[in-house]
Chain A
Amino acid sequence: MQAQRQLLVAVGFLAVATLYLLGARSLPASPGEPGPGFFPTILGLALAALALVLAWEARGALGRAWRTGTPAERVIELRPVLAGVLTGAYVWLLYRVGFAVSTALYAASLAALLSPRQPWRWIAVAAVTTLAIRLLFEAALGVLLP
């Protein structure tokens, strides 16, 4: 699995390098000096070369992965994804419902994700986090929060 993953990553970087190089080609020339496209061209070629090296290193037997993980391991693997989704939702809500509600919801939901059997803690974390950050940024920095 690790080898397969590395191969996929290498292909991904190769695609990024290709797009980046296409972007470099569209940059204007500059008389008398290498121009704005010169450095990006070097970088794009370097990334492509490194991606090919990664692909070469990835050849080999496929390993074990997700299918063989225990249920507890799978939950732990999901947590970062859920934490990322919650953080994205926090940013989306921040500019729609304001700092207090969005922060309280975010803190409570993240606490729930990490400590599912202690609901009292979710409320405590939400309240303390919201209050502490408001004090830190508004009182200490004088910044108006959304």
Chain B
Amino acid sequence: MLLNLLMLMAVMADDPVISFHSTGPAGASLVVDGLDSALLAKLADLEPNQWQKLFPVFLGDQSFSQPSKHPPMLGSWLVNAQSLSFRPRFPFLAGRIHQSRFDLAYAHALAGWPAPNQPYLELSFTTPKELPHELAFVRSVYPDTDSVPANLLRLYLHFSQPMQQNGAYAGIRILDEAGLLIPHSFVAMPNELWDPSATRLTVLFDPGRIKRGIGPNLELGAPLKAGMSFTLEVDAQRLDASGKPMARSFRKQFSVTAANRSRINPASWLLQLPKAGNVHPLVITFPKNLDQVLVAHFLRIVCQDGEPLLGHIKVSDGGKVWSFQPSNPWPAADFDLQVHPHLEDLSGNRHYRLFDEPIVEDELQPAATVFSRPFSIR
């Protein structure tokens, strides 16, 4: 009577089962659930050739009734407390039928257990057809503002995924209020300027047109004039790194303010200083927008020993606000805010020179130095 009850309980317990988990192109796996955890513990340290016998997986529709003449798929097998899984070395082919078998009898034999009632678990599965490739789009443009100076030097386009790197800013243009192309606005370059992740493109306005007194500026004038508005347009035909066009084109309208011809003046910046002992950020609000990419790199806080202070930099408000949050509470100490000479505003002006500073003969050129702005935290 007791034996019958035990056998009934065994039948009613969760039967082990293989299932296919599709978690995206790189993460598909096969999972065996419902195995006794004591059995799983015995399978923790198997050799690859034992796994290949225990849990083989094959591409195709062959039956397991005949021994396979081919070796099973390379992959990795993982045992945890509740289940075990197989992840193939190379992605499963999409939209194809596969066969898998878990040799429960062999598992029992490896564990030194008596043979199970059901010697095998089998799963024939068809992998999903290729996930539609997500198309790229322009996430944002720096400067992240609605207005820009007439002598704007750079725009940064942020794409949602790596893009193909063309020449000559193909498919990128600016249009005037009438919707007409403003021609020859960007620098003619054979290679575009991309960051290493191939998601950020630097679009450079033609300095020859922006700098006063230079040929193109005299002939064509500057591309942007104070008081106008223009639209930046990026064609959907630009291709991403996998060769597909973008999801949609991108348009953003900017209004144009007067040209900015003053140097960056770190001495005049207002620093909002936190108190010692906390991790509140130090905040600087600049009198005019600085280049959002450059200001994230070219401003830093250095301790008295010369080491840079560790912390997190945030740039916001289109490059008007820079904040630094230390990793550890501020000590009561003296610090130095260091401005790298290559920090620029939206028009390419630096702290030691304007973008289009006339070169006067016999005058010493200003030195490109680090600007040092000491401050104290108390």
A and B together in one complex: no
